[in-house]
């Protein structure tokens, strides 16, 4: 099972789309974990203890932190907004990346 954490900037209901796409994925959100307000570096540090991948739309996160020093992969969705209707179409391409991820790696998903 691959454990995925959705950043708080993503809609909570997006987690269901990931799980519908691949039932072997366990998807939680920053909100569900009660980690709202935790800044990026501390979030990566905390998330790596329980998750394999953090998904965000924050493009600068990979530049602000050396992702290779973490035991978690980071996926940034290159969406024009964080609205659910704009993000749904990123799910299938992101799942393809998830299937072959390596911890300590950054992936950018665009459509």
CATH of the domain at 45: 3.40.50
Q: What is the pLDDT of residue 10?
A: 95
pLDDT at 25: 95
Q: Domain span at residue 23? A: 2-109
User: What global pTM score does this model have?
Assistant: 0.93
pLDDT of amino acid 94: 96
The domain tally of the chain equals: 1
The pLDDT assigned to 61 comes to 77
Bridge-based pairing of strands 53-56 and 25-29 is: unpaired
Contacts (Cβ under 8 Å, ≥6 apart) of 80: 86
* Residues lower than pLDDT 70 in the chain: 62
Tell me what the pLDDT averaged over the chain comes to.
92
């Amino acid at each position: 099972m691959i454990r995925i954490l959705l950043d708080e900037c993503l809609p909570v209901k997006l987690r269901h789309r990931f799980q519908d796409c691949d039932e072997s994925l366990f998807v939680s959100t920053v909100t569900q974990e009660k980690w709202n307000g935790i800044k990026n570096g501390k979030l990566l540090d905390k998330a790596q203890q329980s998750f394999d991948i953090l998904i965000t739309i924050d493009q600068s996160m990979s530049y602000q932190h050396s992702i290779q020093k973490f035991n978690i992969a980071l996926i940034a969705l290159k969406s024009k907004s964080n609205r659910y209707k704009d993000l749904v179409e990123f799910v299938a391409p992101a799942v393809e990346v998830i299937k072959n991820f390596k911890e300590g790696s950054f992936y950018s998903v665009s459509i």
